[in-house]
Every structure is written in structure tokens, then in C-alpha cells.
Structure 1
Amino acid sequence: MSALTGAAAVAGCGGDDAGGTSSNSPGATSGGAERDCSLKHPVCTAVTSDCVAVHDNQGATTLGLRMAQLTITKPDVLASGYVAGLVTQGLTMNLPQCNLNGTGTFSWLLEFDTTTGKLRTGGAMPTVDPREGYCFANMTAGEFEIAPTEIDAPLTDGAWSGEAETLNVPIFLETSPEPIILPLHQVRLTDAKVSADNNCIGRYNVEGLEWDNACLPGQDGDPPAFINGGKLAAFITLEEVDRVIVDAVKQSLCVVLSGDIVKYGTGADTNTCKRDENDQIVLKGDWCSATNSPATDDCADAYALGGEYAASAVKINGLCPQ
């Protein structure tokens, strides 16, 4: 139970190498006079941006960005605890020189074509060096087909929104070759704006991070590493997430969502959601998939997913080879 409800710690210090520190740490000078969290290492400043971009989109007609932070706001059980920790650790880029001490194994890409007004979005395979770029995952994981989707999302002075009917987003972890799948439906990306230099959605939280905490975000996300600049909404069905197994805890994502593995789990070695005599999942969600609206007494087969995100420019290298 504690594995499902305890927050995953994200710790470490910025430096030239993972786990190391140097005079190139944020705010440092040769005399150590400055104690702010501005980024000064050449890796962090090679591209001028407000969001630690590692590729320069300025002047380009095709803009590649990667979500740098995803703050899940609902359902509550995913907003904190084990899964939230996995999301934060995986989504945080593996650039310790810039105080981004994640694994970088979970990537959600946004690729805008400004000439057609289209957005291609989806998950990416992990990459060792984020500066080398990312490719869209193009594979099958169990029953789920993973590939980017293209939607209408024209930029109007940088502002944009878009909707996708379905999108299976893979969360890759260091501990497992098989990703955790988020099978999203009626995905809405709203209230977002690409910066004037085309390199950011949102920005790095330079003024909110604390020198005394090595300029790292708080373990509970307060303060956050980034100031979010866009919103995400979708829903996930209980039937689908009951077939998504979180190997690290041997629970289906349905059981994790329940928040009560004893009441709603079968107790099997791989714990899935308990079902009634009609083979229907006992757990009730807060959403109805048939109407894409809040749950009723007659329809409560899904959970609404909500969140906010920031994104930074990266190089996108097309589809990954199968």
C-alpha cells in the first residue's frame, strides 16, 4: 500500500556530470558571490530560451518541443504518490548540468507544422543524450498501438489548442523494457502559447527555486522546476487501464486508480480490479465514456484526467524505426 501512496523522491545536485557539482552550477561564479538559480552552464545556455531548450526553433517552420513537466491535477490518486513520482522522474530531462536530474525516459512530443497548421503529438522512445533529439514511438505494446497522431492546431500569435480522439502515450521506465501505457480518449490540449522564439511553452522557474535546496524542485512539486503554460484534459476507461500492468508494484493501473487495493483488487499475484457476477468492474469512476461527461448512477466506467504542462524545444527525428 505504501508503494502506491508514498511520493517518489527526486533528488540530486546539478553539475558537470550526474551527481557532481562544479563552479558551473546555477548561480555560481568564480568568487561564489551569486546565489540565485539562473542557469549558467554552457549546456543550459547553448540555446537562448526561458525553458532550457536544447534545440533552436527560432525561424523554423517545423517546431519540435518536448513536455518538460506534466503536473497531473486529476484524478487525485495520480496527482501525488507513486505514479506521480514515476511521471515526474521520467519526464524530467536527464540534464544534471541544468538541475534536471530525471531519467528522461518518458517523453511526450509536440511537433508543429506552421505552414499547414497541424500538430503531430505522441510518445517518444528514450534517448541517452537529449541534445541528440527524439523519435516518435512507433510500436505495439500488448494490445495497444503506439504511434503519434496528427491534429489541427494552428498557431495564432503563438496561441493554440487541439483535440485528438485517442492517443496511447507510453511511459518508459529505467526498470522495465515495456512501457506503462496511458490510453487516452478525447484528448484536449488547450490554453497554450508557444513563445515568440518558438522554443517554449511555459518557462523555467528560476525565481521560485531555492539555492539552499541546490535549485531543485521540491519532492512534492513545490516549488516546481517549470511554470506550466498549457492545459491537458482527457479520460481513461477502467476496462483499458485494468489491462495496463505497473510491473514495479504488480498492480493494474485500474487498481492504482482505486486508491484501495484491498477493497477493489482481486489479491492475485498480478492484482487487477475486482469484478461482479456480470464481469463488470466494481470500482466506479468519476466519468462516463459514452457521453464524455461526469459519471452518473448508470455510467461511471472512466476517470477524467487533467493536468498542466510546460514544454521545451528539442530536435525531433521523425518516427523511430520498428
Structure 2
Amino acid sequence: MRKINKPEFSLENIFEDKKKYFRGKLNTDTEKDFLEGLLLQEELYFRYGEDKKLYNMKETSSDDCEIDLIEAYKYLYRKDIKQAYRSRLYDIGGDRCPVCDSSYGYGTCELDHILPKSKYHQLSIMPINLVKICKSCNRGKSDSVGDSKVGILSPYFNDYNTQCFTKLNIDIINDKVKIIVKIKSFDEVNISNLDINSYEKIKYNILQHRIIETLTNRAMSVYNSSIEDVICNICKDKISKKELILNLKSFQEERYEANYIDECFFRQKIIETILNSSNKEVLIENILIHINEKIEKNKIIKKQFYNDFNV
């Protein structure tokens, strides 16, 4: 989870911008108390967020509220609204997900309620409770929420390096290379000031958003594309074991600063894991068979194409 800047607008700005909307929804006698109540909730949210105690926020339902704030959220954060609240939140996070640290190039992004609106109705329109994350993290999390034991982490208040808490495992399953991203154990995480309670909270956050599944799928996708690159580089009828290793090493030697989890990061980690694996010989042999099968299939397809078009 990468810490990002907090929104530059608040509930007070929204109430000021949209006076007419709220006055049309609220009773004149209760309007002031209702809006002040939400501003108090926002103040509490900031306080608990800074103290890393968002679990102290109380759950509420639509029955506890004078207006339907979920409907208000749909109105206020739609894409075509003049004040562009959604776009302003989207601009904060940059081009990668602050939860899993992956580039949005792998999928679409969505606006997530950190504390879900289904359980925290009073927070439905609060900017500090809304953050742009990737679709995989958002759908993985769904409406789940932490507690005082596992915590509730937010990119506006928390920061940890996903790379430090995850590792790649590569094995052969059913004669195919299988890449699985796993969470490191507490003893495997090389962070000097990390305590077990903080580790458990980060571990829960990774599991809650199903980051492991997301990164595993992306790692497999990068592995498959890397195999295709090896085939393109060789341009021969068959590749030898020596040629395969040289190609993998050439990819490994490419200079790359792994600032976040993208295709280059995965490629480097996959090749590093293969070449340093205690099971290296078996992995290389399996990859070699797979590549040569692909080369043979490509030859057949190419030959068929030439026959069909009399080239």
C-alpha cells in the first residue's frame, strides 16, 4: 500500500457547491444539524485515520440518516458533474493502484469506499473515505472491513511496500510451469522495525483485497509473454538449453529500477527465481519443451497460411 495525498476538497466544499441539491433533500428545520453531524463524522474520520484507528468509526444504516446518502454519492460523484469530484480523486493516485502497487495498465480503476457504504452509510459521500484503486482490489475487498485486531488500512494514512511482503514461487504442476505469489512469513520480511502486530495488519490487508490472486494472475501473464519474446528472439526451428539460459540472462541483465509492480518487475523476478531455484534444471527443461512446442506450432500455422493464400 502506497501512501497518497489526501483529497483537496472536503464535505464542507461539497455542501457549499451543492447547496441547492441538499436543500431540496433536507427539511429546513433539520438541515443545519444534519450537515454539522456529517462534518463531525469527517473530523472523527481524520482523527482516527491519523491515529491508525479507523475501526473506531461507528457503523450506521440508511435508517439512521435523513436522506439517502448512497443516492447522493451517485449524483455527486458521477463523471459529468461540473465540480468533477470523481476526476479530482482519480488524479490523486497517479497511474498505479495504491493498494496492490500495480500499474493500471493491467485493468480498469474504480472508486472504492474504504469503509463500505453498505455498513457506514454516513460516510458515503465523504472524500477522505473514497480512493481510486484497481478493479481487482476493489472487487476482491467487496464489503469486508477490519477491526481493532487486524486494523483498517487506508492509502491516505498508511504506507507499506507490497514487494517486501510478497514472494514468487515457481513450480511444475501437471507438466506446466505454475507461478504463485505468496505472502512472506514474519521472519522472511526484512524490515528491522516491523512488529508482529503491524505485520498481521498488513497481511490481513493483502488478503482482504485478494492482492495475492491479482499478482499471481499478472505474473503468469508476464511469464507467458516472456516466453513469446524468447521465441521471437531466437527465430529458429528449435532452441537449445544453452540458448534459453542465455536469453533469460539477457533479460535479467537489463537495467531496471523496480520502483513498483509492473511488467518489468515481474519479468525480472520470474527470471531471477527460475535461475536461482533449487529446481532450476527441471524448470528449464519444462520451459524448453514448452518453447519448442510453440515454435513447432508456429511453423505449422505459418505453413498453412502460405498454402491458403498461395504465397
**Which TM bucket (shorter chain)?**
under 0.3
TM-score normalised per structure 1: 0.27
TM-score by length of 2: 0.27
Higher share of residues assigned strand: 1
| Larger RCO: 1 or 2 (CA < 8 Å, sep 6+) | 1
- Higher radius of gyration, 1 or 2: 2
